[in-house]
Amino acid sequence: MSKSNFSRRGVLKTGAIAGAGLALPTYLRADGHSGFTNAPQGDTVKIGFNVPQTGPYAEEGLDELRAQELAVEHLNGMGDGGMLNTFSEKNLDGTGILGKKVEFVTGDTQTKSDVARASAQSMIQKDGCIMINGGSSSGVAVAVQGLCQEAGVIFMAGLTHSNDTTGKDRKANGFRHFFNGYMSGAALGPVLENEYGNERRAYHLTADYNWGWTQQESIQAATEAIGWQTAETVLTPVGAGDFSSYIAPVLNSGADTLILNHYGGDMVNSLTQAVQFGLRDKQVNGKDFTIIVPLYSELMAAGAGSNIQGVFGSMNWNWQLQDEGTKAFVKSFGEKYGFPPSNAAHTCYVQTLLYADAVTRAGTFNPCGVVEALEDFDFDGMGNGPTTYRGADHQCFKDVLVMKGKENPTNQYDTLEIVEVTPRAQVEYAADHPMFGGAEASLGDCNPGA
């Protein structure tokens, strides 16, 4: 067999033919499918949905779980099929995955890395899951991704926005559809310059874990590039609840802009308390004080109520987009649950379908076959326009949304407006970018496990 028939990970390329007397790679042999972790037996396959059902990010986690359950229904031929009807690939026909009915188990990460890792480990070792999907924290995502790499299963990340997930902590068995902190900064910078000019002093309150650190680094770089000064950066604990002691010093800092690198319930609380402190009613440096929330969700906006009005941020996706994929997903989700899906729900739904499609195209559940099928995979019809899963770091590249809290909402779901669909080219970066671990960052090799 020609060496050119193999990829850099030793996986047989499509169309390669084994010569006489030469064996196929183990995972492509019908008698070798037990050679990887939790190879499905019988007529079912089991996957694990590991999300925060309690804790500061619980709302996002519960919405992820709704979408994950909907994805399983569509894979098993129930409901209207949702995005299976708009996905550019037509390999999924409602008969499960490779003819096996999809089953699932769930876990509560509590937005704690050690709890999430223990939950995922139980799913793999006790329940026999072959893929783990979910998470609403980058600390959780990095921990679970590392576990899945060690165990030899695929991790399809849910809501994780830290640069580290597909940066210095990237893994061959892990994939991220969601965008990241760098992309938020690249999308927001020009919009903020146009809205507020080049002379601002920004005060950062930042969640003290890997997402907050890389989000602050990204938005700080983007704002300083347009001429803004950074007045102060302050770390805050996740789940603090009361942020008053962190907000009070902003009043005397000389800053005219507060950037809240917070998410979930923490963002709702910190934004609400900042407004209660009267920050938005003040003038500093001859400018109206403003607040920016770099990473948005519909659920956060709903929780913050009128406090969100006029506040800029970014999102991975929003239910108001008018492409056919978005409309199909919103219809399916809305009919099942009675309200529009969040962007956290969207990314988990899409990740589940992308995994199923990759298995189908690879013709095997072996994780190394799945990795090869997903690397440098181009697709469309999933709500974000033309998208690529880059092989070098397993990060999806697509358009990014800049959002703003709506001034005159018409109902409880009409809280945000799309300011700009930032083209993919504006948020792309090299795989060895310094914010993502530089030249030292490496996926390593796919691990098939057992």
pLDDT value, residue 139: 84
What amino acid is encoded at 226 in this protein?
I
Q: What is the pLDDT of residues 159-182, one digit of tens each?
A: 999 999 999 999 999 999 999 999
- Cα of first residue to Cα of last residue in the chain, in angstroms, is 26
Are the CB atoms for 103 and 45 separated by under 8 Å? yes
Burial class (CB in 10 A: 0-12, 13-18, 19+), 445: middle
pLDDT value, residue 203: 98
pLDDT value, residue 34: 52
- Non-local CB neighbours of 380 within 8 Å, separated by 6+ positions: 88, 325, 386, 387
Distance, in Å, from the CA atom of 396 to the CA atom of 318, rounded to the nearest integer, reads 17
Say whether 182-315 and 44-179+319-394 share the same fold: yes
Distance, in Å, from the CA atom of 358 to the CA atom of 368, rounded to the nearest integer, reads 11
Are the CB atoms for 97 and 40 separated by under 8 Å? no
CATH of 182-315, one of 3.40.309.10, 3.40.50.170, 3.10.129.10, 3.40.50.2300: 3.40.50.2300
pLDDT value, residue 280: 92
Are the CB atoms for 144 and 176 separated by under 8 Å? no
pLDDT value, residue 6: 29
Token pair recorded at residue 91: 């390999």
Single out the residue of 158, 179, 178, 160 nearest to residue 169, CA to CA.
160
Runs of H (alpha helix) within 290-404: 298-304, 324-337, 343-362, 367-374
Kind and range of the H or E run holding 104: strand 101-108
Runs of H (alpha helix) within 57-112: 58-75
Q: Where are the domains of the chain?
A: 44-179+319-394, 182-315
Kind and range of the H or E run holding 181: helix 181-196
Q: What's the fold here for domain 44-179+319-394?
A: Rossmann fold (3.40.50)
β-pairing verdict for 290-295 and 312-315: parallel
Token pair recorded at residue 166: 């597909």
- Stretches where the chain sits below pLDDT 70 are 1-34
Are the CB atoms for 240 and 266 separated by under 8 Å? yes
- Angle among Cα 134, 135, 140 to the nearest 5 degrees reads 135
